[in-house]
Amino acid sequence: MFKLWLKFQIFLAVGSVLADPCTISIPTDLPDPQPVFVTQQGLFRPINQVTEVQEGEELTLHCAGKGNVVVPLKQQTVTLVCRGGDFYNTETDEQQTLKDLKCTRIPTSELQVTETTCADGAGVFYEVGFLVNDNFHSVFTICYDSANEHTIYSRSLVNGAAQSFKINDSTRRAFKADGLRFSTTATNNFYVNKNQKSRFASYFGAKQAFVNRTSFLARGHMAPDADFVFSYEQLATYYYANCAPEWQVVNAGNWLRVENAVRKLASQLGSDVLTYTSTLGVLELTNPTDNKETQIYLDKTELIPAPEWYYKIVMHPSLAADVVFITRNNPFEDVGKEVEFCTNVCDKYDLDLSYYEDSRHGYTFCCELNDFWVAAMNTDSPNFDLPDGWSYKN
């Protein structure tokens, strides 16, 4: 009996030495550029500055994209296993330091058009993510209505626990038109300044003053680049299906402030915040010469409207309500409270900024989701598809 007990204790002692977890500290342990990290649970989502990988668990590194490889190993994918606190290459058994395992360039995401319907059949899911060893790992989800070439929403989780430790990457990437009927080249062309000028000249005459070098419709992100932790996730947001025309002064003005507010909120809450970003309506601009209202589209076929509003739904279990930020995409008209179509609760939830009333940078207000929904959608309750484990409040 005694002997058995002793053996058991020795086993425990040895076991605890062996069971040293591996740790990944962000951003210090990360190579630049990072490969896509996949753990046995899926896409790696850090839970703090330091995240553990347990003894015996695998971590797969993948440099997605043509000709993209883990530089020192010259292979696209490598799997490591955690043993006694260190990572070992499962093929060569060599110990590896994460920091050394950079990719040739930032991994390239893909957009998968699925056949799964969303928003009660109004659209289908587009998943943006990475294919690693035949498994697709989604970074964020778009619900897209192809018939109307309209993004019903971009849904993503803002990782509040890792917000303060994320990669601050200023790299941009060209937008791709995957999932749209227009080609990337055609869509790029809609946004070219010269073409916006001629579009606006056709609406308002050659002397139109809406579009010039500094005033133009920008590619407004729905799920924003800067919400994400890794460079490869940030650059996965560059799809036209995740964007809509937004006046640059609004994009870099109050809409950026809304995005910053959501990241700050996520950071304060310290865990995932669920967001849905979308647009409402078609922007109408008043012709100064005859006071007539004209609806604004980027393309002649009138499939890509400049929206009247941008909005972002923000959800978290500890918030008393699901909240929506709403920003007006019309910097030309001086407006105030009269444009608010649901009860402004920015103040109530401590989300108010004095800047929000500045129409020149996009008049902004906040509402509780249920109130917003009834006013904007004319139906009783939100029908945006929730990820597992989430629910609407009230």
Ligand X SMILES: *[C@@H]1O[C@H](CO)[C@@H](O)[C@H](O)[C@H]1NC(C)=O
Among the listed residues 25, 89, 215, 286, the single contact to ligand X using CB under 6 A: 215
Among the listed residues 210, 276, 356, 365, the single contact to ligand X using CB under 6 A: 210
Bridging pattern class, strands 135-145 and 110-118: unpaired
User: Looking at beta carbons only, is 30 or 139 nearer to ligand X?
Assistant: 30
Instruction: Please report whether residue 25 would count as binding ligand X according to CB under 6 A.
Output: no
Residue 168: CB atoms within 10 A of its CB come to 8
Instruction: Please report whether residue 112 would count as binding ligand X according to CB under 6 A.
Output: no
User: Looking at beta carbons only, is 232 or 240 nearer to ligand X?
Assistant: 232
User: Looking at beta carbons only, is 298 or 367 nearer to ligand X?
Assistant: 298
To the question of whether residue 287 is assigned a binding role by annotation, the answer is: no
134-142, 204-212, 314-322, 346-354 -> range binding ligand X (CB under 6 A):
204-212
Least gap, CB of 360 to ligand X (angstroms): 9
Binders of ligand X in range 130-189 (CB under 6 A): 164, 168
Instruction: Please report whether residue 193 would count as binding ligand X according to CB under 6 A.
Output: no
Count of residues that bind ligand X according to CB under 6 A: 8
Identify the CA nearest to 191 among candidates 90, 298, 94: 298
Instruction: Please report whether residue 50 would count as binding ligand X according to CB under 6 A.
Output: no
Among the listed residues 19, 23, 27, 195, the single contact to ligand X using CB under 6 A: 27
146-154, 207-215, 235-243, 267-275 -> range binding ligand X (CB under 6 A):
207-215
Question: Do the beta carbons of residue 316 and residue 275 sit within 8 Å?
Answer: no
User: Looking at beta carbons only, is 226 or 339 nearer to ligand X?
Assistant: 226
Catalytic residue among 137, 150, 221, 361: 221
Instruction: Please report whether residue 214 would count as binding ligand X according to CB under 6 A.
Output: yes
CA angle at residue 241 from 240 to 246, to 5 degrees? 60
User: Looking at beta carbons only, is 30 or 376 nearer to ligand X?
Assistant: 30
The CA distance from 236 to 256, in Å, is: 19
The CA distance from 93 to 26, in Å, is: 25
Instruction: Please report whether residue 391 would count as binding ligand X according to CB under 6 A.
Output: no
Instruction: Please report whether residue 268 would count as binding ligand X according to CB under 6 A.
Output: no
Among the listed residues 18, 50, 209, 282, the single contact to ligand X using CB under 6 A: 209
221 in active site = yes
User: Looking at beta carbons only, is 41 or 168 nearer to ligand X?
Assistant: 168
Identify the CA nearest to 154 among candidates 292, 287, 278: 278
Instruction: Please report whether residue 276 would count as binding ligand X according to CB under 6 A.
Output: no
Instruction: Please report whether residue 282 would count as binding ligand X according to CB under 6 A.
Output: no
38-46, 55-63, 127-135, 205-213 -> range binding ligand X (CB under 6 A):
205-213
Mind spelling out the 3-state secondary structure of 267-315? Answer: HHHCCCEEEEEEEECCCEEECCCCCCEEECECCCCCCCECCCEEEEEEE
Q: Which residues does the annotation mark as catalytic?
A: 221
Q: Which residues bind ligand X (CB under 6 A)?
A: 27, 164, 168, 209-210, 212, 214-215
Binding site for Mg(2+), residues? 251
